[in-house]
Every structure is written in C-alpha cells, then in structure tokens.
C-alpha cells in the first residue's frame, strides 16, 4: 500500500484528491499539509512513500519544500501538481527532485498512472508536458550550440568517430580516401572546435554524444 501525503493550500482540492485516492485500496492518505513548511514537518513525522506537492503554496513554495523533504529522506517520491504548464515551472520542479509533474486539470486516471509509475522508480510527465519539455530541451541545445551535430561538419564527425574507435591517422586516411595531412587538419579542427586536446577525451565525448559506442 502506498502511503501518500497531500500538500495543497486549497482544502477543496485536497479533500477531493483524498476521496478519489482512497477509493483505490492501493493508496492511503496519511496526512494533509496546507503550506510548504507543514509539508516538510509532516513528511518528517509520517515518512510517506509519496508526496503530491502543489508547487504554489504560501510560506514555503513546493519547490523548496520538495528539496527539504528529499534532503531529509531521499527515498520519498514527489509528484508536483500545478496549474502551470510553463517550461520554467516544470524544469524547476524536476530540478528540485520531483519525479512527476501533473497539471491540476489532469483526470484522476492519469494521477493514478503517475503514482504507479513513480513508485516503480520511473519519472512521469503527462503527454502535453513531455512534449513541452522536449521542445525546450531542443531549443536549449540549439542555443547552447555545443553538441557535435551543431559544432562539427559531417567530415569532422567522421574523423572524430574514427579517432574514438582507435584508428591511426594512416587508417583514417585510407578509410576516408584522403591524405594523411588532410586527416591531421581535420583532427586539429575537431580539437579546436570542441576545445578537447587528447584522443582519450575525444573518445569520451564521442560516446557521450552518441557518435560512437563502447
């Protein structure tokens, strides 16, 4: 049975959630906190398996309450519940340690699915939120401009992969049908663009970026 602490400053929402959750024999609500400080205190007293956390609460917001709860007991799971579908709110909740993020407009069936997913040790985002997070992440990568596919041209990526696979300059030249001097030029360009100056570090980078595998 999953022991749940509700943290929401709107009593009607908390009572509605309690009523719905307790219709399922797998869930039991062990307490309700009307603000962030109360949530931290009750989490310490009751040791719930999971906290459903409203991120907008007086006194201590849900982000800070989540950090404090998880700092005291990392085994507790937190699902953020919010009316905001803004990427900044989602990122802040996940950064604080929440394993799930749901909008208050979500159907109860989705909340139940989120609870089961998070208790199984996996993260849960509703479909609309997941799409927003992915788009924000892609925009971040494009703005950052440090991944291999935005920094290096196709030939430089080929050289990087060959280097990371342990090929010598002569072997790379034969593979790409270019001169050894050309390969050396490409290698220098790769190192300069990535600000990496050893083959070992280039190999780590290539694996991390998915250009090659172990």
**Domain final residue, candidates 140, 157, 181:** 140
Residue 214 inside a domain? The answer is no
Q: What is the pLDDT of residue 59?
A: 80
Task: Tell me: do 109 and 25 sit in the same domain.
Answer: yes
Task: Tell me: do 195 and 117 sit in the same domain.
Answer: no
Residue 213 inside a domain? The answer is no
Task: Tell me: do 105 and 18 sit in the same domain.
Answer: yes
Mean pLDDT of the chain: 88
Task: Tell me: do 93 and 14 sit in the same domain.
Answer: yes
Residue 188 inside a domain? The answer is yes
CATH number at residue 127: 3.40.50.2300
User: How many CB atoms neighbour CB 208 within 10 A?
Assistant: 11
**Domain final residue, candidates 83, 117, 140:** 140
| The two structure tokens encoding residue 36 | 């962030």
User: How many CB atoms neighbour CB 199 within 10 A?
Assistant: 13
Domain that holds residue 189: 148-208
- Strand-pair partners of 100: 79, 124
Average pLDDT on 202-210 reads 83
Q: 127 pLDDT exceeds 80?
A: no
Q: 44 pLDDT exceeds 70?
A: yes
CATH number at residue 184: 1.10.10.10
pLDDT tens figures, 89-110:
888 898 899 999 998 888 888 8
| The two structure tokens encoding residue 163 | 């280097």
Residue (of 85, 111, 109) closest to 100 by Cα position: 111
Task: Tell me: do 14 and 84 sit in the same domain.
Answer: yes
- pLDDT category of residue 130 using cuts at 50, 70 and 90: confident
Q: 128 pLDDT exceeds 80?
A: no
Task: Tell me: do 80 and 167 sit in the same domain.
Answer: no
pLDDT tens figures, 61-90:
899 999 999 999 999 999 999 888 877 788
Average pLDDT on 204-214 reads 77
- pLDDT category of residue 28 using cuts at 50, 70 and 90: very high
Task: Tell me: do 128 and 156 sit in the same domain.
Answer: no
Q: What is the pLDDT of residue 189?
A: 93
Q: What is the pLDDT of residue 84?
A: 83
Q: What is the pLDDT of residue 87?
A: 77
Q: What is the pLDDT of residue 142?
A: 57
Higher pLDDT, 142 or 62: 62
- pLDDT category of residue 138 using cuts at 50, 70 and 90: low
pTM over 0.75: no
pLDDT tens figures, 8-21:
998 888 899 999 99
Task: Tell me: do 7 and 47 sit in the same domain.
Answer: yes
The total number of structural domains in the chain stands at 2
Q: How far apart are the first and last CA of the chain?
A: 41
d(CA 73, CA 60): 18
Q: What is the pLDDT of residue 153?
A: 87
Task: Tell me: do 154 and 94 sit in the same domain.
Answer: no
């Amino acid at each position: 049975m999953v022991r749940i602490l509700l943290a929401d400053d709107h009593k009607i929402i908390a009572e509605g959630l309690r009523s719905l959750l307790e219709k399922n024999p797998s869930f039991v609500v062990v307490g309700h906190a009307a603000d962030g400080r109360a949530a931290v205190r009750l989490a310490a007293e009751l040791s719930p398996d999971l906290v459903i956390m409203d991120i907008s609460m007086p006194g201590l917001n849900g982000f800070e309450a989540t950090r404090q709860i998880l700092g005291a007991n990392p085994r507790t799971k937190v699902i953020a519940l919010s009316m905001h579908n803004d990427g900044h709110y989602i990122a802040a909740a996940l950064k604080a340690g929440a394993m799930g993020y749901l909008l208050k407009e979500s159907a109860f069936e989705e909340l139940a699915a989120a609870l089961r997913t998070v208790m199984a040790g996996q993260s849960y985002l509703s479909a609309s939120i997941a799409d927003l997070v992915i788009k924000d992440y892609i925009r971040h990568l494009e703005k950052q401009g440090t991944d291999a596919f935005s920094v290096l041209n196709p030939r430089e990526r080929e050289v990087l992969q060959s280097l990371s696979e342990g090929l010598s300059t002569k072997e790379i030249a034969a593979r790409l049908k270019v001169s050894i001097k050309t390969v050396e030029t490409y290698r220098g360009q790769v190192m300069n663009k990535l600000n990496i100056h050893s083959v070992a570090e280039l190999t780590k980078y290539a694996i991390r970026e998915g250009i090659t595998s172990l």
